[in-house]
């Protein structure tokens, strides 16, 4: 009978060490944000988290570098290679999920902020077209995207024909369509006012923000958005 797979034991970082990494991050980013009562804001908590991720990233290369060299020199037994391979797989999975989660949260934040900036400008054109925080500047990037047809529909089949993509090659998995690139191409046609195939006539607005870190020089000069 197979044993249940046990999750790896999580080691909690001591609060003292946690704060040490946070303070090192603040040395690079002195614009720490607090509430009037002294409590950390969510921005500061996320800054704290970022500093820990940066530390973990540095440790990843520091600790795995020598291991990689030993792997190349065949200094491990087969049993050790099996364990190392498993651990690297788990790292890969965890980091990939972390990246996906962070990306989703960034996109949601940017979508909402872009909508709010555009809405404010719609009411009054004199309202700023960007937002400057203490750490970064956010600029809305709104595009009218062409909606892609649902797989298996006649419109989908005609879309394949439009891009000269063999249907059988797609059905057999020999070819995979990068629909993001296809959507970018069609969106460009819409923006340029060019003819778009009937299969892609339906469009929708896509709201997102471009986030740019405020440089140290900007902070020192006290530059603000005009």
Whole-prediction pTM? 0.68
Q: How confident is the model at residue 64 (pLDDT cuts 50, 70, 90)?
A: very high
Token look-up 């993001």 returns 180
Most confident option among 96-100, 186-190, 221-225: 96-100
Burial 3-40 (b: 16+ CB within 10 A, else e): eeeeeeeeeeeeeeeeeebbeebeeebeebeeeeeeee
Q: Are 209 and 114 in contact (CB under 8 A)?
A: yes
Task: Considering only residues 22 and 156, tell me which one the structure prediction assigns the higher pLDDT.
Answer: 156
Task: Considering only residues 170 and 220, tell me which one the structure prediction assigns the higher pLDDT.
Answer: 170
2 pLDDT above the threshold of 70: no
The pLDDT tens digits for 143-176 are 877 777 787 888 888 888 888 888 888 888 888 7
Q: Are 136 and 213 in contact (CB under 8 A)?
A: yes
pLDDT number for residue 60: 92
pLDDT number for residue 92: 95
pLDDT number for residue 86: 96
14 pLDDT above the threshold of 60: no
CA angle, residues 33, 34, 38, in degrees to nearest 5: 160
84 pLDDT above the threshold of 70: yes
203 pLDDT above the threshold of 60: yes
Please tell me the distance from the alpha carbon of residue 112 to that of residue 209, in angstroms, as a whole number: 9
pLDDT number for residue 106: 96
């Amino acid at each position: 009978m197979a044993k249940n797979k046990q999750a790896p034991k999580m080691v909690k970082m001591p609060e003292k060490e946690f704060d040490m990494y946070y303070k090192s991050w603040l040395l690079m980013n002195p614009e720490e944000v607090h509430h009037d009562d002294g409590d950390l804001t969510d921005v500061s908590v996320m800054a704290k988290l970022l500093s820990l991720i940066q530390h973990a990233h540095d440790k990843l290369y520091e600790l795995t570098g020598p291991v990689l060299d030993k792997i190349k020199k065949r200094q491990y037994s087969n049993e050790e290679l099996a364990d190392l391979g498993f651990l690297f797989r788990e790292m890969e999975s965890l980091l990939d999920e972390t990246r996906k989660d962070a990306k989703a949260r960034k996109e949601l934040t940017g979508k909402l902020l872009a909508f709010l900036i555009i809405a404010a400008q719609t009411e009054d054109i004199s309202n700023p077209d960007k937002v400057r925080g203490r750490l970064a500047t956010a600029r809305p990037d709104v595009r009218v995207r062409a909606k892609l047809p649902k797989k298996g529909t006649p419109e989908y089949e005609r879309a394949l024909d439009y891009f000269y993509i063999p249907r059988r090659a797609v059905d057999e998995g020999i070819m995979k369509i990068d629909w993001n690139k296809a959507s970018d191409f069609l969106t460009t046609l819409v923006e340029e006012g060019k003819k778009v195939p009937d299969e892609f006539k339906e469009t929708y607005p896509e709201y997102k923000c471009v986030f740019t870190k405020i440089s140290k020089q900007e902070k020192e000069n006290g530059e603000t958005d005009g």
